[in-house]
Amino acid sequence: MNSENSKIMPETLSQSGTISDFLQHEELDRGLSLNTIEAYHRDILEFATLMKLSSDYSISHRHVNDYLSRLNTLNRKPTSIARKISALRNFYKYLVEKELVAENPFEYARVPRISRYHPDYLTIDEVKSILAKPNLKDKRGIRDTAMLELLYGAGLRISELINLKLSAVYDEIGFIKIIGKGNKERLAPYGRYARQAIEKYLVEVREKIKSVAQSDILFLSNRNRKFSRVGAWKIVTKYALLAGIKKRVTPHTLRHSFATHLLEGGADLRTVQELLGHSSITTTQIYTQVDKDYLLSVHRECHPREKKFGRQGS
């Protein structure tokens, strides 16, 4: 590592635009909570301090092993170590995507065995209540409905939604072309309701602003510009609040709900993997625990012995 930068302090790193950009990406694109984002920030700075990280972020696998040994020496809990590894793995994955480092040294770091991640999701009625809130007599409401229907109808990431192009909507076959992580393309169906909402938006809103908006981007903000992640995020949270939903709702919540409802409806894991654009099925498997919870609740509500005697009948 560069000796000139080897004594960099956390205060300097905390001002890094790279770290700030990464944290915003994790919050808006992956839907992580504010508490998790703050924990990730602390984890990155702690790692930089313990390992005397230089400003170019370049490290070797040996540094990762040294870091994990330090954590064990400090008697950190398995859940804490797992989160730190996750934070740093995602951080370096982001750095690789931005071509700021050549490889991800945390890619194969061993994570302590703990309970699995359990994504938040909405019930079908909660999703319906959100989708019903935009005012379809207003051009913004028409646009917002199309955005919400597409987020849920195709399980899009927020970055996929705001980068979607007019030319990527194949209305005649009911598919859209999505540019996902790593610039990977996939064709995905988006459903009857989203299709109708997009058609209404194209005819009644988008077509009328074509002369002032030369962009090929499908969804445009009130200023006829491409949406920022924050702007699209606010639309989702706005209608969740109007629907009276108390739990935290983000664009990624609709993606989680899309996957969970497909599994509850009988879809197989491979199909859901393809629809979500996951490169590995292990990523998709986080939803199987949600599905098991659903099956358990149905069993308890519908089985004659469970229904009559409750938990005592088990």
Q: pLDDT per residue over 131-163, tens digit each?
A: 999 999 999 999 999 999 999 999 999 999 999
| 142 touches 136 (CB < 8 A) | yes
User: What are the residue numbers of the active site?
Assistant: 157, 181, 252, 255, 278, 287
pLDDT band at 61 (very low <50, low <70, confident <90, very high): confident
Q: What is the model's pLDDT at position 3? A: 35
Backbone angles phi, psi at 227, to 5 degrees: -65, 145
pLDDT band at 10 (very low <50, low <70, confident <90, very high): very low
Q: What is the model's pLDDT at position 242? A: 96
State the CB neighbour count (10 A cutoff) for residue 152: 26
pLDDT at 297 over 60: yes
Note the pLDDT tens digit of each residue in 165-181.
988 998 888 888 988 87
Backbone angles phi, psi at 22, to 5 degrees: -65, -45
pLDDT band at 14 (very low <50, low <70, confident <90, very high): very low
pLDDT band at 20 (very low <50, low <70, confident <90, very high): confident
pLDDT band at 293 (very low <50, low <70, confident <90, very high): low
Most confident among 11-15, 43-47, 193-197 (mean pLDDT): 193-197
Distance CA 224, CA 180 (A): 24
pLDDT at 266 over 50: yes
| 256 touches 119 (CB < 8 A) | yes
pLDDT at 100 over 90: no
pLDDT at 236 over 90: yes
| 130 touches 240 (CB < 8 A) | yes
Residue % of the chain over a pLDDT of 90 = 25
pLDDT band at 301 (very low <50, low <70, confident <90, very high): low
Residue % of the chain over a pLDDT of 70 = 80
Mean pLDDT estimate for the chain: 81
Note the pLDDT tens digit of each residue in 204-227.
998 887 766 667 899 998 888 889
| 243 touches 126 (CB < 8 A) | yes
- DSSP assignment of the chain equals --GGGTT--HHHHTT-HHHHHHHHHHHHHS---HHHHHHHHHHHHHHHHHTT--TT----HHHHHHHHHHHHHTT--HHHHHHHHHHHHHHHHHHHHTTSSSS-TTTTPPPP--PPP------HHHHHHHHT-S-TTSHHHHHHHHHHHHHHHHT--HHHHHT-BGGGEETTTTEEEEE-GGG-EEEEE--HHHHHHHHHHIIIIIGGGTTT----BSSB-TTSSBPPHHHHHHHHHHHHHHTT--S---HHHHHHHHHHHHHHTT--HHHHHHHHT-SSHHHHTHHHHHHHHHHHHHHHHHSHHHHHHGGGG-
| 226 touches 220 (CB < 8 A) | yes
Partners of 170 in beta bridges: 175
Structural domains for the chain: 3-97 (1.10.150), 124-296 (1.10.443.10)
**Nearest of 11, 109, 8 to residue 62 by alpha carbon:** 109
